[in-house]
Amino acid sequence: MIKAYKTNITGRQQAYIVETALYMFLGYDHISFNLKDKDHTLIIMSKEIRNDKVINTLKALNYECELLRR
């Protein structure tokens, strides 16, 4: 399964912090960012992805996050 999220993360260091937190707390298989697109897209690949946990984890780190509908 692949899901994409719009974020307000603009820097590589911010992305690294979020990637690390998501790997540690949620254990997803692959996490990456496309910081060059207008949505600063967070892409997650894993067998099961819980939108609420992703969004709440980013909010706990003081970032905005919403599921992109494609």
Residue range 18-33, pLDDT digits in tens: 999 999 999 899 999 9
Which pLDDT score is estimated for 70?
A: 60
Distance CA 50, CA 65 (A): 13
Q: Where are the domains of the chain?
A: 2-67
21-69 tens-digit pLDDT: 999 999 899 999 999 999 999 999 999 999 999 999 999 999 999 999 8
In this predicted structure, what is the pLDDT of residue 30?
95
What is the domain class of 2-67 according to CATH? Answer: alpha beta
Ordered strands of the 30-34 beta sheet? 30-34, 41-45, 2-7, 65-67
Average pLDDT over residues 9-13: 96
Task: Give the CB-side neighbour count of residue 54, counting CA atoms within 13 A.
Answer: 24
3-class SS of residue 1: coil
Quote the pLDDT of residue 69: 80
Look at residue 8 in the predicted model and tell me its pLDDT. Answer: 97
